[in-house]
Amino acid sequence: MSDVTALRDTIIPKSDQLNGDTLMAGPITVEITDVRRGAAEQPIDIHISGGHQCWRPCKSMRRILITAWGENGKTWIGKSVTLYFEPSIKFGGVAVGGIRIAALSHIESDIAISLTTTRGKRSPYTVKKLEILGDYPADRFAENLPAWLSAIKDGRATTKQILAKVSQSGRLTTEQINLIESTQEAAQ
């Protein structure tokens, strides 16, 4: 691919899970598509939308999820979470960074919780209420599609840029995403 206007994909680590390094370019909001038991050291595999690898939250983030949504992981499916990279997270006394939850859907209001940061030390942590957008209106999509396709075809925008911008106004259907993506594929 020769497109250099969206380089986030070039920093994805070779790993079998979502990695904090992937989020250095900025937070992501994703929908949970499945929850499964994992291995002993990482006991939960949370599968998420957007083509991302599964997310294996640390114990503190699992505590937040259980506090917010309950202990039945199957009820988490269809709910959304905003994840971000926090560079100050320590492992073995060294700041290596990690993935943190910024916001959750399906909660009544922001959640303030005290989390263990090191042995015997707790710090306050706040999770924001994530407002979920409805579907992108079909009539607005049909009206705007020609301009988006023209911008992609003329090189003024990439499909990723168009999808990111449009997704701020509503959820796109698979068919709508495919219509936008087909233009860039045809141009290559």
pLDDT (tens, 9 = 90+) of the chain, 188 residues, equals 567 777 766 666 667 888 888 888 788 888 999 999 998 888 999 999 877 889 999 999 999 999 999 999 999 999 999 999 999 888 788 888 899 999 999 999 999 999 887 778 899 999 999 988 788 899 999 999 999 999 998 888 888 888 878 877 888 888 888 888 886 555 55
Domain ranges of the chain: 8-129, 138-187
pLDDT of residue 20: 84
Pairing relationship of beta strands 44-48 and 28-37 according to DSSP bridges: antiparallel
**Which of 36, 30, 32 is closest to 50 using CA atoms?**
30
> Quick one: pLDDT at residue 184?
55
Token output for 129: 């209420």
Rounded distance between C-alpha atoms, residue 101 and residue 108, angstroms: 16
CA-wise closest residue to 87 among 100, 77, 75 = 100
CA distance 18 to 43: 15
33 in Cβ contact with 46 (< 8 Å): no
pLDDT of residue 2: 63
- Could you tell me the pTM of the whole model? 0.69
